[in-house]
Structure 1
Amino acid sequence: WFIAHTFEETIDRLRHGRVPFRAASFFRHTERAGVDSVPLVGLVSFFLGLTMALLTGYQLQRFGTERLIPGLVAIGFTRELGPLLTGIMLAARIGAAFTAELGTMQVSEEVEAIEAMGIGPLRFLVAPRMLALFFLMPCLSTVSNISAIFASSLISRAYFSIAFPYFLDLVKDALLIRDIITGVLKSLMFGLLISAIACYRGLTVKGGAAGVGTATTSSVVTAITTVIGVDTLYNIVYTTFFPT
């Protein structure tokens, strides 16, 4: 209902020909959630790509199938690890920040002051944060995928003598358009869920400064658990209806 109410307030404002929130607010959250998160997402994914390629490569080499490394890493990150890893990192980094910001505004009665001025807090405070994370998640997941695939190409060249041009050919042969679509859909869902949970926890804070800390912790734990749960459910449904 929280997402629906935010969407309803925003659309209602647009329907009356008015701007639902300040563009500067949207771009500020976009910069912090997107641009500032690129180094973290890229670095963690790079290291994980190295590890994944190295460990799976030695196992595959025992059967003479080390040429499967590029496709394995590409599909694994594009469909699963890229969106999931990015979602977990943003839940901890950006979700916590959203909850702390809105929670502080709530306990200091800034949210009440905004409501007293006739401004809806959902469309003014929540909508720009939600839209920023919704649109940025696929971009950050792409950064994660590229970093991991590049890392696996280095391992493939150094340890398994797979040249980079051949590596790219193997990736292109293994990766299907549905793998990319699956990754994008997951990213969009995770971005929406993380921002909604973080903002909801922030706006429902009670108990002063201690309440803000409790809400922030709860926000991160809930968001990460939800992301993993939704990812698992998506995979079960997908493999049930599209087994091939």
Structure 2
Amino acid sequence: IANVVVLSITRELGPVLAGLMVAGRVSAAIAAEIGTMRVTEQIDALTTLSTNPMKYLVAPRLIAGLLMFPLLVLVADVIGVFGGYMVAVHKLGFNAANYLQRTWDFLRAEDVNSGLVKAAVFGIIVTLMGCYHGYNSKGGAEGVGAATTNAVVSSCILILSFDYVLTEMFFSK
């Protein structure tokens, strides 16, 4: 059981589930914020003030997504593996020392690193989709609402698609 928990959490479940959960919250928030700025002409005001909206609005969000998603996935991995330990030891009656030893034996840096790389890619995807759909929204409140929906849907689809591609890159032999 320990090997299945460690492999599934670090390779797939940690990055993908964290990415999908955060995509719903973060890409919608970014799209709504930037979309509202677009329809209220605040982005045009930034341009008038000789401020590059991409550098001012998009770049900080991209950097935050790139740096924070891997940390979030690392936390998700630890919690997921600990949850597997709790179920195996306290509900299924496994020997705690044996379970921990098997977990440590199957934990590989390659698996953790692949999950962290996926997380960085997912962070870029989520923030880019939020920024893109928010920046290109038009039509008032309805347009902002559509932009938030489009940002979440496109983020989720791209996360699942890139997960497949990255898994093939990392683990195909």
Which has the higher relative contact order, 1 or 2, with Cα contacts under 8 A spaced 6 or more apart? 2
AA of the residue aligned to 1:195? T
Alpha-carbon distance, 1:146 to partner: 1.2
Does the alignment pair 1:101 with 2:37?
no
Residues 161-172 of structure 1: pairs in structure 2 closer than 5 A: 161-172=93-104
- Could you tell me which residue of structure 2 aligns to residue 88 of structure 1? 20
- Could you tell me which residue of structure 2 aligns to residue 138 of structure 1? 70
Alpha-carbon distance, 1:161 to partner: 2.1
5+ long unaligned stretches in structure 2: none
Moved over 4 A (4+): none
5+ long unaligned stretches in structure 1: 1-68
- Could you tell me which residue of structure 2 aligns to residue 115 of structure 1? 47
Higher Cα radius of gyration: 1
AA of the residue aligned to 1:224? C
AA of the residue aligned to 1:233? V
Partners of 1:180 and 1:238 in 2: how far apart? 11
Name the TM-score, length of structure 1 as normaliser: 0.69
Identity, % of aligned pairs? Answer: 34
Partners of 1:97 and 1:160 in 2: how far apart? 41
Alpha-carbon distance, 1:158 to partner: 2.2
Does the alignment pair 1:206 with 2:138?
yes
Alpha-carbon distance, 1:133 to partner: 1.3
Residues 1-244 of structure 1: pairs in structure 2 closer than 5 A: 69-240=1-172, 243=173
Count of aligned residue pairs for this structure pair? 173
Identify the range of structure 1 (157-166 vs 180-189) with the bigger mean alpha-carbon deviation. Answer: 157-166
Partners of 1:136 and 1:174 in 2: how far apart? 26
* 2:69–2:120 Cα contact (<8 Å) kept: yes
RMSD of aligned Cα (Å) = 1.1
AA of the residue aligned to 2:169? V
Name the TM-score, length of structure 2 as normaliser: 0.96
Alpha-carbon distance, 1:103 to partner: 0.2
